[in-house]
Amino acid sequence: MTTMTYSTDNEKRLSEPTVPPHLDGSPWLMFEQQRALHIYDDLSRTLRKLAKKPSAERVHEARVVLRRWDCIWNVLEADGWSTKKYGKQVGKELKKIRHLLGTLRDCDVNIEIAESLNAPQEIIEKWLNERKSIARKTKKELKNLEVDKLLKRLSTFLLKRPEKLRHDFESNGNSGADSAYNHLEPFVKAQEEIARKLASAAQTPEELHALRLGIKAWRYLLVEFYGLTNLQLVRAQQILGKLNDLHRVEVLLAATGSPLANESLSKSNEEREKLLDAFTQFRETLPYGLRPMISSIGEKLKSN
């Protein structure tokens, strides 16, 4: 295939990739509020369903939304959004929910993996009973946390806080009107570098777990702020997540002291080695520098 080239200055300009208008033209403070409110809608719907019944599916869904919120909040907090009132009435409560759901989700995954490894039924039954007990405790704790009241406080905070920030910025000669793209670039770049350093050295289960968290934070920044999904990051996170889950289950199975668990441990080790080989493909080729861009000439051709 012959590659077409453009000779005029105007055509060259049109063919150059540019930042999407919704990022280049949006003031960062307004953009952050919009993204936070978007996730709030998902968080509100998910937590209300969860409070009624903490099923495995709803626990997983809630944990994903909470991780998305954490990604957004890390940026908002660095930009001065946090207040003592928020920390006490919202942040502290969300942290409690994350902890409760983390414990319950680990139970669900442990049981799922144990079954896939053909672990002794007596061990699986014991873990299922533990899961029921933790689920009852979780539902009770969620009720005590008063999810509806928590969500109302968060909504009020997100609607009112930007105006106070804008006033403070203007008092200091900063309008908070820089483009969202330019403002968010340092956050994305910093998270990329964290992932790069971790990827270059991670070997142990603990180091691979830290790398998974680093990639996850990087991926969520791209998704939540830029609307940019990358399958390579998704797959790398999935592989590292499975490695972390297998390691946790291996430790638990070994702790049972049951000779019947040895076959399952051997099977887990084989699966872990395959996953490590698969991750090798991603380790050296993670998409550093990935940013949302549009081609003006492409958009022009598409509209004609």
Q: What is the pLDDT of residues 184-217, one digit of tens each?
A: 999 999 999 999 999 999 999 999 999 999 999 9
Can you tell me the distance from the alpha carbon of 282 to that of 277, in angstroms, rounded to the nearest whole number? 10
**What pLDDT score was predicted for residue 18?**
81
- Least confident range from 1-5, 23-27, 113-117, 223-227: namely 1-5
**What pLDDT score was predicted for residue 142?**
84
* CA count, 13 A, side-chain hemisphere, 21: 2
User: Where does the pLDDT of residue 17 fall: very low under 50, low under 70, confident under 90, or very high at 90 and above?
Assistant: low
Percent above pLDDT 90 for the chain: 72
- Average confidence (pLDDT) over 52-65: 91
User: How far is residue 4 from each of residues 73, 104, 176, 293, 294, measured CA to CA in Å?
Assistant: 45, 56, 42, 20, 18
- Average confidence (pLDDT) over 123-137: 93
**What pLDDT score was predicted for residue 141?**
87
**What pLDDT score was predicted for residue 144?**
85
Q: To 10 degrees, what angle do helices 205-226 and 28-52 make?
A: 120
Does residue 160 sit in helix, strand or coil?
helix
> 212 and 199 in contact (C-beta within 8 Å)?
no
pTM confidence score: 0.86
Can you tell me the distance from the alpha carbon of 14 to that of 300, in angstroms, rounded to the nearest whole number? 9
Q: Is it the case that residue 177 has pLDDT exceeding 80? A: no
What would the two tokens of residue 137 be? Answer: 């405790």
**What pLDDT score was predicted for residue 295?**
56
**What pLDDT score was predicted for residue 54?**
86
* CA count, 13 A, side-chain hemisphere, 240: 28
**What pLDDT score was predicted for residue 176?**
60
What would the two tokens of residue 231 be? Answer: 């399958």
Does residue 147 sit in helix, strand or coil?
helix
- Average confidence (pLDDT) over 57-72: 94
Residue with tokens 């395959």: 274
β-bridge partners, 17 = 295
What would the two tokens of residue 5 be? Answer: 């080239």
User: Where does the pLDDT of residue 21 fall: very low under 50, low under 70, confident under 90, or very high at 90 and above?
Assistant: confident
**What pLDDT score was predicted for residue 304?**
35
User: Where does the pLDDT of residue 7 fall: very low under 50, low under 70, confident under 90, or very high at 90 and above?
Assistant: very low
Query: Mean pLDDT over all residues of the chain?
Result: 88
Can you tell me the distance from the alpha carbon of 269 to that of 16, in angstroms, rounded to the nearest whole number? 49
- Average confidence (pLDDT) over 264-270: 95
Q: Is it the case that residue 114 has pLDDT exceeding 50? A: yes
Q: To 10 degrees, what angle do helices 121-145 and 28-52 make?
A: 120
Q: Name the residue with higher pLDDT: 51 or 205.
A: 205
What would the two tokens of residue 148 be? Answer: 């509806």
**What pLDDT score was predicted for residue 2?**
34
> 241 and 60 in contact (C-beta within 8 Å)?
no
Largest CA distance in the chain: 75
Tens digit of each residue's pLDDT (9 = 90 or more) over 68-97? 999 999 999 999 999 999 999 999 999 999
User: Where does the pLDDT of residue 12 fall: very low under 50, low under 70, confident under 90, or very high at 90 and above?
Assistant: very low
Question: What contacts 73, CB < 8 A, 6 or more positions away?
Answer: 36, 81, 91
Can you tell me the distance from the alpha carbon of 175 to that of 272, in angstroms, rounded to the nearest whole number? 51
